[in-house]
Amino acid sequence: MTTAIDTNILVALWNEDDSLNTLARSALDAALGRGSLVIAAPVFAELLAAPSRDEAFLDSFCRETGISVDWNLDEVVWRMAGRAFQLYIARRRKLRGSGQRRILTHFLIGAHAVQNGFRLLTLDYRLNRAAFPRLVILTV
């Protein structure tokens, strides 16, 4: 079974000072033991914003760890992400904007996992559960 990896897992993995670093590493090892690992193109793009990370680093990291990058997000993924984002905005308005604000990328990552039948390894359990009830979510 394939596990899609959310950006926040890799950020925690790369930040040795993060309290979730060891848990992220263990969760990735466990997911790899159950099958392959993949990141959606938006994850790759978000990771470029990490300090001291560039395309060469990311390409090398993915190659060395066996993480594949799915560069293709088809229409179904975009539509699913858009609907989930729309519902999120409606919930946020109803609650008067409480909590951390999310961007479309979060929903693209979840929709990509749903559409492809992947599990999603993430730190954002509540967001993904609300947006994608059918998604199998793994967290640390």
| pLDDT score at 91 | 85
| pLDDT score at 101 | 76
CA distance 66 to 92: 37
pLDDT digits (tens, 9 = 90+) for 5-53: 999 999 999 998 889 999 999 999 999 999 999 999 999 999 999 888 9
Residue type, 35: G
User: Would you state the structure tokens that stand for residue 116, as one six-digit string?
Assistant: 């492809």
Instruction: Please give the mean pLDDT across all residues of the chain.
Output: 93
| pLDDT score at 95 | 76
pTM for the whole structure: 0.92
User: Would you state the structure tokens that stand for residue 108, as one six-digit string?
Assistant: 């693209």
Task: Report how far apart, in Å, the C-alpha atoms of 31 and of each of 25, 67, 91 are.
Answer: 10, 11, 32
Residue for token digits 């590493």?
A: 25
Q: Which residue from 91, 130, 138, 84 is spatially nearest to 111, judged by alpha carbons?
A: 84
First to last CA, the chain: 18
DSSP tag of 4: E
| pLDDT score at 93 | 84
